[in-house]
Amino acid sequence: MRFDQLSSIRLFVRIIETGSFSRASSLSGISPSNATARIARLESHLGVKLLGRTTRSVAATEAGLRYYDVCKRLLNDLDEIDTDLKGSQQRLAGRVRVSINVSIARAIILPRLPELMRQYPDIHPEIILTDQRSDFVREEIDFAIRIGGLEDQDLHKRSLGFPLRINVASPEYLQHFGVPETPDALAGHRLIDFKLPLPGERLGWEFETNDVINTLWPDTVASVNDAEARVQLAIAGMGIVQSLHFIVSSALETGKLVRLFPDLETRAPEVTLLWPRNRHLPARTETVMRVFSQWVKEAVKAVPTQLV
C-alpha cells in the first residue's frame, strides 16, 4: 500500500478527536483494518509510538499528543489555503453541526431556518435535536443550545436570555372545571406534570409574589417527558400545565390555550449557547460557525416577550 502521509495524518487527528478507530475510519471512508495499517505505517515512518490501544479504547502517547498539536495546526493552515485558492471568499460555505434543545429547535429555530438558508445557501447545517448532554469532540458538535446547566465540560458560554414560565389551560377545560383564582386553588384541579429523566424526580410549580418565589408540589393526574406533548394534552382539555412561554405562544395566539396567573410568572433556567474551548478550527469554519451562532442568537432574541 502506497504511503500517503497527509491522509494518514488526517486519520490520526480524527482518531484522537473521536477516541475511536472505528469512528475515525468511518468518517474517513475506509475500513478499520485499513485505518490500523495506515497508522502503523505512520508510526513506522516516524519511528515513534503515537497511539496506545486496548480492546476498549485508544489514547495518544506523550509523543502522539505533541504530534497531534502540530498536525492540527498544519491541517488548519492547509485547509485555509485550499479555501482561499479555490476562490470561495465570495460565498460563505461549509458545514456547521449544532445540538439544540428540542423545544427551542421546534418552536424557534426550525421555523426560521429557511431565512438563513436563503441568505447563505452554501451553509450546510446539521441539526441534532436533544435535551441530553453532548460530547462535543466525539459527536463533532460545533456548538449547542441548552436550557439550564446540562453540560459539565470546559465550554464557552453565551446567554440568550431567560424563558418565562407560564400557566395555561384550554377554554374547554376552564369552562368545565372553572378558572382557578390563586395558585392554592390548583389543588382542586387536574394538573399535568413534566416528567424528569430520573425516577422520582419532578419539577415544582413556581409562582412569584413580591419578588419571592414560592414552589408548590400539587398532586397531578399525569406526567409527560416531552414538553410539546404535554402542551397538546392541555389543548385537548386534559388539564392545566406550567410550561415555557415560547412553547405555548402559538396556542395562546390562536385561543387554544388561556393564560393563568400572569402576574405570578417566574423566570425559567437560562438559555445558553455553548461551544468548546481550545478547539483549533480553520478560519473558514470559524466564520461559518460565528455567522450561524449569531443568527441563532438573533432568532431567539426576536421571539417577543418570551425571553427576559
Neighbours of 81 (CB within 10 A): 11
What percent of the chain stands above pLDDT 90? Answer: 36
Three-state SS for 86-115 is CCHHHCCCEEEEEEECHHHHHHHHHHHHHH
Of the ranges 124-133, 146-155, 183-192, 279-288, which is most confident? Answer: 183-192
Q: Are strands 266-267 and 164-169 parallel, antiparallel or unpaired?
A: antiparallel
What pLDDT score was predicted for residue 305?
Answer: 47
Do 230 and 243 contact (CB within 8 A), yes or no? yes
Tens digits of residue pLDDT in 134-160 = 888 788 888 888 887 665 667 878 888
Task: Map out the domains of the chain with their CATH numbers.
Answer: 5-75 (1.10.10.10), 91-156+274-301 (3.40.190.10), 164-267 (3.40.190.290)
Q: Work out the burial of residue 61: count CB atoms within 10 Å of its CB; fewer than 13 is exposed, 13-18 middle, 19 or more buried.
A: middle
Do 148 and 103 contact (CB within 8 A), yes or no? no
Do 226 and 134 contact (CB within 8 A), yes or no? no
What pLDDT score was predicted for residue 85?
Answer: 55
Q: Work out the burial of residue 257: count CB atoms within 10 Å of its CB; fewer than 13 is exposed, 13-18 middle, 19 or more buried.
A: buried
Tens digits of residue pLDDT in 60-89 = 899 999 999 889 888 877 776 666 555 544
DSSP codes, 125-182? EEEEE-SS---TTTTT-SEEEEESS---SSEEEEEEE-BEEEEEE-HHHHHHH---SS
Grid cell, residue 223, equals 406526567
